[in-house]
Amino acid sequence: MTVLAGAGVVVTGGGAGIGAALARRFAAAGARVVVNDLDPDASHAVAADIDAVALPGDAATEAGVAALISGARAALGEVDVYCANAGIGEGVGLDASEEAWEHSWDVNVMAHVRAARLLTPAWLARGRGHLVTTVSAAGLLTMLDASAYAVTKHAAYAFAEWMAITYGAKGITVQAVCPRGVRTALLDASGPAARLLLDDDALAPEQVADTVVDAVAAGAPFLILPHPEVARMYAGRAADPDRWLTGMRKLQGRLDQAREG
Ligand SMILES: NC(=O)c1ccc[n+]([C@@H]2O[C@H](COP(=O)([O-])OP(=O)(O)OC[C@H]3O[C@@H](n4cnc5c(N)ncnc54)[C@H](O)[C@@H]3O)[C@@H](O)[C@H]2O)c1
């Protein structure tokens, strides 16, 4: 269990979408919030709304993560909950550029590793800390037309799992958030595959934030699924990979057909 009233919470990518909803919901629960975003205006606007501290900047690079964590420690004392939420969807297929792969790797994976590296020693020393990573159902299943996204989100999930195993018995709580579609700018920009697969069941960012903040307060489960059906899909993929691939190929075929007109 993590007591949220008075807790120091950092949300990366908190200027928009799921991150902004998380920042607002944590503030409503009485947490002292740091709102990070690459976009300074967005970061300041959300922070001003909820009486939080804005620390804009890049939450993925080694220097950016270090600056964010030292700024957050100065503002909050220690960080109680770190939400590595910022993420990007770049690169469609095999033609995705080296830069798109590198950028996806940096923001979707290394941002989590870099933050954990800096936070974990202090958390171990005081016997508690809480890392929440926004992964995606794409990290448990896949995402059509999003090669770099699907692969890096799998890596993000693997890192969260590794952290939970390595430090879970030492006072550090780790949780991975794996939604399907959420109505944000990222979903709007993800093209026909997102519309085919996700639009009908897409949640509002506030609905995701409600589920996440309740689970953070409870300290469980590890795998936070705002769309509960993902558990069944994930189990189906593991139980019979060939059957799962056949189903996914059908969806890919529908997508190819829709694109061809
Ligand atoms: N929207 C969906 O359907 C969906 C589904 C599953 C998972 N997710 C994940 O949720 C997270 C949030 O996505 P969203 O849909 O709210 O996207 P969004 O694009 O609406 O918001 C993301 C925010 O992160 C910021 N950002 C990007 N790179 C950053 C960086 N390096 N440092 C700091 N801030 C940065 C952007 O400026 C933006 O304000 C991502 O990790 C995404 O992969 C989204």
The whole-chain average pLDDT of the chain stands at 96
Flag whether pLDDT at 4 surpasses 80.
yes
Q: 2 lies in a domain?
A: no
The domain that holds 199 is classified in CATH as 3.40.50.720
Q: 237 lies in a domain?
A: yes
Q: 255 lies in a domain?
A: yes
Copy the structure tokens of residue 132: 């929440």
Q: Which of 185, 183, 131, 135 is nearest to 157 (CA)?
A: 135
Residue 236: per-residue pLDDT: 98
Residue 151: per-residue pLDDT: 98
Q: 1 lies in a domain?
A: no
CA of 126 relative to ligand 1 center, distance in Å: 31
Residue 32: per-residue pLDDT: 98
Q: 3 lies in a domain?
A: no
How much is the average pLDDT of 167-186? Answer: 96
CA of 127 relative to ligand 1 center, distance in Å: 30
CB 182 within 8 A of CB 16: no
CA of 5 relative to ligand 1 center, distance in Å: 26
pLDDT one-digit tens code per residue, 23-56: 999 999 999 999 999 999 999 999 999 999 999 9
Which residue's alpha carbon is nearest to atom 19 within ligand 1? 186
Residue 147: per-residue pLDDT: 96
Flag whether pLDDT at 186 surpasses 90.
no
Residue 2: per-residue pLDDT: 82
Flag whether pLDDT at 193 surpasses 80.
no
Q: Is 41 in the pocket of ligand 1 (CB under 6 A)?
A: no
- Name the amino acid, one letter, at 4: L
How much is the average pLDDT of 79-84? Answer: 98
CB 39 within 8 A of CB 12: no
Q: 12 lies in a domain?
A: yes
Q: 227 lies in a domain?
A: yes
Copy the structure tokens of residue 181: 């579609």
Copy the structure tokens of residue 58: 């890049």
How much is the average pLDDT of 93-116? Answer: 97
Residue 68, SS3?
helix
Copy the structure tokens of residue 158: 């693997």
Query: Which atom of ligand 1 lies closest to the CA of 182?
Result: 3
Which residue's alpha carbon is nearest to atom 6 within ligand 1? 136
pLDDT one-digit tens code per residue, 138-174: 999 999 999 999 999 999 999 999 999 999 999 999 9
CB 87 within 8 A of CB 105: no
Residue 194: per-residue pLDDT: 75
List the domain range (segments joined by +) for residue 137: 8-260
234 catalytically annotated: no
Higher pLDDT pick, 75 / 195: 75
CA of 20 relative to ligand 1 center, distance in Å: 10
Active-site residue identified among 82, 149, 157, 234: 149
How much is the average pLDDT of 177-191? Answer: 90
Q: Is 87 in the pocket of ligand 1 (CB under 6 A)?
A: yes
Flag whether pLDDT at 258 surpasses 90.
no
Q: 77 lies in a domain?
A: yes
Q: How many domains is the chain partitioned into structurally?
A: 1
Phi, psi dihedrals of residue 80, rounded to the nearest 5°: -90, -40
Question: H-helix or E-strand containing 65?
Answer: helix 62-76
